[in-house]
Amino acid sequence: MKVEKILQVKDLNISFHTFSGEVKAIRGVSFDLFKGETLAIVGESGSGKSVTTKSIMRLLPEHNSEIKSGEILFNGKDLTKLKDKEMQKIRGHDISMIFQDPMTSLNPTMKIGNQIMEPLIKHQNMSRHAAKERTLDLLKLVGIPKPEIRINQYPHQFSGGMRQRVVIAIALACNPQILIADEPTTALDVTIQAQILELMKDLQKKIDTSIIFITHDLGVVANVADRVAVMYGGKIVEIGTADEIFYNPQHPYTWGLISSMPDMDTDDEELFSIPGTPPDLLDPPKGDAFAARNPFVMKIDLELEPPFFKVSDTHYAATWLLHPDAPKVEPPDAVKRRQNQFNGLTGVSVGTASLEKGSQSQFPGIKEGK
């Protein structure tokens, strides 16, 4: 059963022009977003995850950013080519975004009610009365008690978690097709985070919106994501369903991420940590950007960028380790434990054995790595 594709990002290349030169922040990113799913984009600082989503919304600073090539297809239009006025119609209405810091996402001098009503009046031409009704509904929907009183209050009268709920209400006011959430719970306490994540999943079911969820917290990813894209050095290095990524990861960077998070079984042994720091995209390294920190690095990683190798219909990883000629490597213990879990799950044996022979990038929309 084919699920509808809502968004297609094809071979996006974005650079920033700074004093020191051109920073190639996004170097060939492609992915699709399906209706009703939650796609998590995981990565660390400098991986390009925020830049990618901001480019979907065309929120990158105009004076020094440049979309060098690529397409973002939404509802039959290429968002990279739209004029600002046309983008304004889409923002808040078809695609909404929520950010990390609820304190600065809301206008401190405007009542909450007015902030929620703004997109309703502007995009859907509602009368103030109708907008107010809908706002009360939205406040109830996001779990804010006594909405009739709260609607006239200011942001400083709300706690952090409450503010984030209001932000979500504003974002969902016009029932957008896509909700982009850029680290929405990173600044919240653990218990509040749990509440907000529950709320988002609940709302997603009710409104049938697709969510792109950016985070660096793998626990949160495990909680919300249907599919996961792992980004490093401005590219997607691995993409698959949540189960595939957590229980059968193939890229050494994903291995590193998973092994560096202690869980209940981690004993006194040293936490596996990826040495070094992410690459400087001012001068992206030749070949695989992860090579300098890759304990399994091979000669070819220093020369050629790996293309995507297919692990399953839904699972692709860009690492030369999946090439038929590559030696078999033992992933870290933490990963091996998970792979055993995976065997139990699907009955399919894991590792490079499941790779189709000679397949290079059959991932839709991906061009060969440059």
The minimum distance between CB 345 and other proteins, in angstroms, equals: 8
Nearer to other proteins among residue 212 and residue 221 (C-beta): 221
Nearer to other proteins among residue 32 and residue 288 (C-beta): 288
The minimum distance between CB 258 and other proteins, in angstroms, equals: 7
The minimum distance between CB 97 and other proteins, in angstroms, equals: 21
As a whole number of angstroms, the distance between CA 333 and CA 110 comes to 53
H or E stretch including 219?
helix 218-224
Nearer to other proteins among residue 177 and residue 248 (C-beta): 248
Contact assessment for residue 9 and residue 31, using Cβ atoms and an 8 Å cutoff: yes
227-232/38-42 β-pairing: parallel
Nearer to other proteins among residue 81 and residue 201 (C-beta): 201
The minimum distance between CB 159 and other proteins, in angstroms, equals: 10
77-78/65-74 β-pairing: antiparallel
Nearer to other proteins among residue 112 and residue 258 (C-beta): 258
The minimum distance between CB 32 and other proteins, in angstroms, equals: 21
The minimum distance between CB 44 and other proteins, in angstroms, equals: 4
Nearer to other proteins among residue 50 and residue 96 (C-beta): 50
Instruction: Give me the residues paired with residue 239 across strands.
Output: 229, 316
The minimum distance between CB 120 and other proteins, in angstroms, equals: 32
The minimum distance between CB 144 and other proteins, in angstroms, equals: 17
Nearer to other proteins among residue 208 and residue 368 (C-beta): 368
The minimum distance between CB 239 and other proteins, in angstroms, equals: 15
Q: CB neighbours of 195 closer than 8 A, spacing ≥ 6?
A: 143, 161
Nearer to other proteins among residue 47 and residue 177 (C-beta): 47
DSSP string, 253-275: HHHHHHHTS--TT--SSPPP---
As a whole number of angstroms, the distance between CA 81 and CA 137 comes to 36
DSSP string, 37-64: -EEEEE--TTSSHHHHHHHHTT-S-TTT
- Order of all β-strands in the sheet with 235-241: 95-98, 178-182, 210-215, 38-42, 227-232, 235-241, 315-317, 309-312
Which contacts qualify for 305-309: CB closer than 8 Å, 24 or more apart? 305/369, 305/370, 306/369, 307/360, 307/361, 307/366, 307/368, 307/369, 308/360, 308/361, 308/362, 308/363, 308/366, 309/250, 309/355, 309/359, 309/360, 309/361
Nearer to other proteins among residue 76 and residue 327 (C-beta): 327
57's tokens: 């919304």
As a whole number of angstroms, the distance between CA 241 and CA 34 comes to 12
